Amino acid sequence: MAVFVLDKQKQPLMPCSEKRARLLLERGRAVVHKRYPFCIRLKDRVGGETQPLRLGLDPGSKTTGLALMRESDGEQRHVLCLFDLVHRGFQIKKALAQRAAFRRRRRSKNLRYRAPRFDNRKRKAGWLPPSLQHRVDTVMAWVERLSRLAPITGISQELVRFDTQKLENPEISGVEYQQGTLLGYEVREYLLEKWGRECAYCGTAETALEIEHVVPRSRGGSNRVSNLTLSCHACNQAKDSLPLADFFARDKGLKKRFKANGLLADARLERVQRELKRPLRDASAVNATRWALFTALNATGLPVAVGTGGRTKYNRQRLDIPKTHALDAACVGVFETLHDWAVPTLAIQCTGRGSYQRTRLTKHGFPRGHLMHQKQVHGFQTGDMVRAVVPTGKKAGTHTGRVAVRKTGSFNIQTDQGAVQGISHRHCTLIQRGDGYGYYVTPTIHQPTKGEAGQAVA
């Protein structure tokens, strides 16, 4: 992963390699400006030549991928940094629903006959629910942050749209949406994402998948997406017109494939029945925020290029690149070649900056405990990134992560491997003050060599 570089006046320069950044720090020519993402500031340089940098965005309901790339001739892209921005829209929605319930309880406690007030509630044009507005605001916050760390000259956004009417009613008329080149393509892409790109029945991956009717057409099943799934050819042929429960109970070949894939028949049947009832909230969230994000990106003054989900998938398959949110962001738009994409991904978890609420409540809204009023304990506060070096005991070792402070001075640290509890403040060293995000690095994805790629093609 490349290291961001600022000059003496905190103006962004071209990112450098980790080795060069290490040498600059060892020789005293630079100091650490920020830990996450890692950025250094030069002490003896002002200004410098820069190259075109493009920021790719793959907006999602739960996770948004970001990729910073160097462009050459408009056709060659070199990946410098990859990011996965994990949103917290569900937590916001849950907190607002709980707050509304508590407010209704307080109002109806002694004002049972109070008339409802709905006429004085007005929303401005373009209003989005807070859980959706959070997605737009968080993405824009990181676009602005990265623009201060690197000389970004352009933005590419995947302006994807899920046709929910088509998902619910494949028999839609109207010249079949003019029967373009993407006729039927969005439904298949939706099913691939929904079922994890594996056979819904036996869990077999890395094979050709076919669209399958869970309730057969001969038994009154429809073409609605709620009745569609993906299966391998063997399961599709074996199921034929059998009901789902009978197919899982009778087919011997399916049981052999269960054993080969380490699956249980009952658990797999329950998963299929559960997934069939999954709502379309994620597709609706992307549809609701895509134009708001596009408008906000245009307001930055940088040229914004948009691409479709079909183009992104075409680029990814053409270059034999694995599917992740960050790599999808790197594949947005029109280009020829993508270099150096096998770099670690920095996962950014939206955590918020805490809460003003100092009283813990039961599910009915009654107090059950109180939190401390001071924000800092021994110079640390919840959300700070710390490194704890524990010399002895059961928790001996080095633990790096986001800290949760306690008044007693015994802290909890959320690391990549999980939470470590009961770490004394004397062992902790501050790395970076809390900024509302948690950080951890995901492993590097293996990039196949030419020989491996040739074998895969063969």
Is 454's pLDDT higher than 50?
Answer: no
Return left, alpha or beta for 214; rule: phi > 0 is left, psi -120 to 50 is alpha, else beta: alpha
Q: Please check the confidence at residue 105 and state whether its pLDDT lies above 90.
A: no
| CA separation for the pair 160, 173 (Å, rounded) | 22
Cα 197 from chain centroid (whole Å): 18
Its pTM stands at 0.74
217-267 per-position pLDDT tens digit:
777 777 777 788 888 888 888 888 888 888 888 777 777 777 776 677 777
Q: What is the pLDDT of residue 47?
A: 85
pLDDT at 392 over 60: yes
Per-residue pLDDT of 272-327, as tens digits, reads 777 766 666 777 888 889 899 999 999 999 999 998 888 898 999 999 999 999 99
Q: Which fold has domain 166-173+181-279?
A: DNA Binding (I), subunit A (1.10.30)
In this prediction, residue 277 carries a pLDDT of 63
Write down the H helix ranges in 111-153: 130-149
What is the Cα–Cα distance from 198 to 211, expressed in whole angstroms?
12
**Would you tell me how many other CB atoms lie within 10 Å of the CB of residue 384?**
20
User: Which of 296-311 are b and which e, b meaning 16 or more Cβ less than 10 Å from the residue's Cβ?
Assistant: bbeeeeeebebbebee
Peptide bond into 116 cis (omega under 30): no
Average pLDDT over residues 388-412: 92
Give the span between the Cα atoms of 382 and 412, in whole angstroms. Answer: 9
The C-alpha atoms of residue 283 and residue 423 are separated, in whole angstroms, by 42
CB 231 within 8 A of CB 214: no
Instruction: Output the CA torsion 12→13→16→18 (10° steps).
Output: -30
**CA-angle at 190, arms to 187 and 195, nearest 5°:** 125
- Helices within 304-403 (DSSP H only): 309-318, 325-330
- At residue 169's C-alpha, the angle toward residues 229 and 215, to 5°, is 40
Q: Return the higher-pLDDT residue of 9 and 255.
A: 9
- The model's confidence at residue 452, banded by pLDDT at 50, 70 and 90, is very low
Predicted local distance difference test score (pLDDT) of residue 302: 93
Q: Domain extents for the chain?
A: 3-42, 53-88+129-162+282-350, 166-173+181-279, 372-440
Residue 181's SS3 state is coil
Of the listed ranges 60-74, 131-145, 184-198, the least confidently predicted one is: 184-198
**Residue 455 confidence (pLDDT):** 35
Residue 33 in this model has a pLDDT that exceeds 90: yes
Tokens describing residue 79: 């990946």
The residue to which tokens 């009915």 are assigned: 364
Write the CATH number of the domain with boundaries 372-440.
Answer: 2.30.30
50-59 mean pLDDT:
93
Backbone φ, ψ for residue 380 (5° rounding): -115, 155
In this structure, are strands 76-86 and 337-339 parallel, antiparallel, or unpaired? parallel
Tokens 């309730």, residue located: 215
Quote the DSSP letter at residue 115. P
Between residues 38 and 360, the one the model is more confident about: 38
Backbone torsions φ then ψ of 410, nearest 5 degrees: -100, 110
**Average pLDDT of the chain to the nearest whole number:** 84
Model confidence at 403, pLDDT cuts 50, 70, 90, reads: very high
**Interval 333-354 mean pLDDT:** 90
What whole-number distance in Å separates Cα of residue 456 and Cα of residue 458?
A: 5
E-assigned strand segments in 410-449: 410-415, 418-424, 428-432, 437-442
Residue 223's nearest CA partner among 169, 186, 274, 183 is 169
As a whole number of angstroms, the distance between CA 273 and CA 281 comes to 18
Residue 99 is predicted with a pLDDT of 85
Select the highest-mean-pLDDT range: 2-6, 373-377, 451-455. Answer: 2-6
Name every residue whose Cβ is closer than 8 Å to that of residue 234 and which is 6 or more positions away in sequence.
202, 253, 257
- Residue 195: strand, helix, or coil: coil
For residue 66, give every residue at least 6 positions away whose Cβ sits within 8 Å of its Cβ, in sequence order, or none.
55, 56, 57, 58, 82, 83, 84, 85, 142, 146, 326, 329
Q: 248 versus 13: which is more confidently predicted? A: 13
What whole-number distance in Å separates Cα of residue 60 and Cα of residue 3?
Answer: 26
Beta strand ranges found along 136-286 (DSSP E):
152-158, 209-213, 228-232
pLDDT digits (tens, 9 = 90+) for 135-187: 999 999 999 999 999 999 999 999 876 655 555 555 555 544 444 444 555 67
Considering only the top CATH level, what class is 53-88+129-162+282-350?
A: alpha beta
Q: Per-residue pLDDT averaged across 38-50, rounded? A: 91
pLDDT at position 176, please? 46
Position 369 scores a pLDDT of: 87
Q: Quote the DSSP letter at residue 171.
A: T
Place 25 in a pLDDT band, splitting at 50, 70 and 90: very high
Cα angle 286-290-293, degrees, rounded to a multiple of 5: 125
